[in-house]
Structure 1
Amino acid sequence: MSKSSKAGLQFPVGRIARFLKSGKYAEHVDAGAPVYLSAVLEYLATELKTGNLILGLSCFGACRQRS
């Protein structure tokens, strides 16, 4: 059973863990960090796909035009 399926995620937890470890971002990468990052990335991708995510830049432009 993969780490992604254990966490109930579609994004590849193992691959993200490998990238975090090989990227020299920190001396130690905790076991929960790739799971958390995968969940955040999956959430953002889903919100972008469904169109529910309002980015700050687009809101800033729309809010500026009102005043």
Structure 2
Amino acid sequence: MNHIHKLQNENRELNDQVLRKNERIAEFRAHLQSPKFHAVQGDGERGDWISTGDVQRWLLYIEDLGRMYP
């Protein structure tokens, strides 16, 4: 019976991890929809550019959840 409880706990932890990752992905999508990326810059340039460094930081933020459970 201990084995079943262990598996149930692992399953619950993994499900929680998936939910938290989905929340972070939703945060990133909301960030991409912000006015920062849908406005014209003061100099008339397009405002939909995004820094690859920003994307890398967001991906690390999302991936960090996976490192909580080996």
What's the TM-score bracket when you normalise by the shorter of the two chains? 0.3 to 0.5
Quick check: which one's helix share is greater?
A: 2
Structure-2-length-normalised TM-score: 0.31
Higher relative contact order (CA 8 A, sep 6+): 2
